[in-house]
Amino acid sequence: MGHKHSHEVTNENEKKTLAVIIFTVLTMIAEVVYGYITNSMALLADGYHMGTHALALGLTYAAYVLVRKLADSPSFPQGTEKIGVLAAYTSSIFLALTGLWIISEAVLRLISPVSIEFNEALLVAVIGLTVNAICIYIMEKSGHKEDECDCEHHKEEDYNYKSAYYHILADAVTSILAIFALVIGKYFNIVYLDSFIGLLGGILIIRWAAGLIKNTVAILIDMKKQD
């Protein structure tokens, strides 16, 4: 019963990941094309940023496909679950690097402030938040109610899916923080707040990534859980 339920949830997560990838790629194409048409560097930058999320989500989806395709392979006598965990570990490394990049950019802007096109930046931030909100809704929407399941509460969490979810959630959080900082900066001329908010967002993302790395490494090296 437990394995069947876990398999159904995994299949559902695979489908939701694919839906989010398609939506992200379509948004990326729209932003890049419109960015070129309007010569908007902000839209172009966010479009390429969407591309990095599409790559991370693609890694998650590829892991699901491999786990499913190789499930009965004699080359994996212990099962293929660790393929997903390895993908989650790799994705969490990318998430940590994203946090470090945000922090470095924020520090550079504190040292050497740059002019901000508030209206254009706000438009991009709102578009990004809208897209991420839709993606989060897709990823959280489930046809299975886990609390109604008779099986044990999942011993093995789907870290592959969780890492993809954190990528989207991290982007949503940074969009919310960016909108707050941009509104304050536009109407109260507190430009440096944008950099401070960037630092806060980067630290939060690294904390999420560190938790994922710790959990996935423990599974990959078969570390025994402490009671």
pLDDT tier at 42 (50, 70, 90 boundaries)? low
- The reported pLDDT for the residue numbered 155 is 45
How confident is the model at residue 214, as a pLDDT? 93
Structure tokens at 7: 């398999």
Q: What is the pLDDT of residues 172-214, one digit of tens each?
A: 888 888 888 888 888 888 878 888 888 888 898 899 899 999 9
Q: Are 132 and 172 in contact (CB under 8 A)?
A: yes
Residue closest to 16 by CA, chosen among 126, 155, 158: 158
Structure tokens at 218: 């423990």
Given a cut of 60, is residue 226 above it in pLDDT? no
DSSP state for residue 116 in the 8-state scheme: -
52-97 pLDDT, tens per residue? 888 889 999 999 999 888 877 888 877 788 898 999 999 899 889 9
Share of residues in the chain with pLDDT > 90 (%): 20
What domains can you pick out in the chain, each with its CATH number?
Answer: 2-71+78-141+157-220 (1.20.1510.10)
User: Can you give the pLDDT at residue 136?
Assistant: 93
CA–CA gap between residue 160 and residue 79 (Å, rounded): 16
The residue that leads in pLDDT, 227 or 67, is 67
Across 39-56, average pLDDT: 76
The answer to whether residue 12 scores a pLDDT higher than 80 is yes
Q: How confident is the model at residue 30 (pLDDT cuts 50, 70, 90)?
A: confident
The predicted structure's pLDDT at residue 145: 42
pLDDT of residue 9: 58
pLDDT for 61 equals 93
CA distances from 22 to 25, 29, 57, 94, 151 (A): 5, 11, 10, 20, 33
Cα–chain center distance at 129: 13
Q: How many whole angstroms separate alpha carbon 30 and alpha carbon 77?
A: 45
- Cα 178 versus chain centre, distance: 17
pLDDT in tens, 147-169: 444 444 444 578 889 989 988 98
